[in-house]
Amino acid sequence: MFVQLVHVGRLSHSDFHGAPPVAPSAVTPVGFIRTPQGLKPYETPWALSPAEVAQVVDEFGRAAALAREAGFDGVEIHGASGFLIDQFLQSGTNQRTDEYGGSLGNRVRFALEIVEAVSGAWDKARIGFTVSPGGSHKGIRDENPLETFAFAARALDRQGVGYLHVLEEPINELSPARLMRENFKGTLVSSGNYTRDSGEEALQAGRADLVAFGRAFTANPDLVEKLRTKARLALPDPKTFYSGGALGYIDAVPIRTPAEAPPSNFLK
C-alpha to C-alpha distance for 29 and 63, rounded to whole angstroms = 26
Provide mean pLDDT across the span 3-23. Answer: 96
| More confident of the two residues 249 and 79 | 79
**Contact, 208 vs 177, CB < 8 A?**
yes
Domains and CATH numbers, the chain: 47-212 (3.20.20.70)
Residue type, 187: T
Among residues 157, 150, 85, the alpha carbon closest in space to that of 124 is found at 157
Phi (first) and psi of residue 52, to 5 degrees = -70, -35
Provide mean pLDDT across the span 157-186. Answer: 91
Integer-rounded Cα radius of gyration of the chain = 19
| More confident of the two residues 240 and 212 | 212
pLDDT tens-place string over residues 101-146:
999 999 999 999 999 999 999 999 999 999 999 888 999 999 999 9
Among residues 182, 177, 148, 151, the alpha carbon closest in space to that of 165 is found at 177
C-alpha to C-alpha distance for 263 and 240, rounded to whole angstroms = 17
C-alpha to C-alpha distance for 249 and 118, rounded to whole angstroms = 32
**Contact, 166 vs 190, CB < 8 A?**
yes
- Give pLDDT, residue 251: 66
268 has a pLDDT exceeding 50: no
CA distances 175 to 9, 33, 170, 202, Å, are 27, 30, 5, 11
C-alpha to C-alpha distance for 47 and 13, rounded to whole angstroms = 14
- Give pLDDT, residue 214: 87
pLDDT confidence tier of residue 75, bands split at 50, 70 and 90: very high
The DSSP H or E segment spanning 87 is helix 84-89
254 has a pLDDT exceeding 60: no
- Give pLDDT, residue 219: 83
Q: Categorise residue 193: left if φ over 0, alpha if ψ from -120 to 50, beta otherwise.
A: left
Q: Whole-structure pTM over 0.85, yes or no?
A: yes
- Give pLDDT, residue 252: 53
**Contact, 175 vs 132, CB < 8 A?**
no
pLDDT tens-place string over residues 80-99:
999 999 999 999 999 999 99
253 has a pLDDT exceeding 80: no
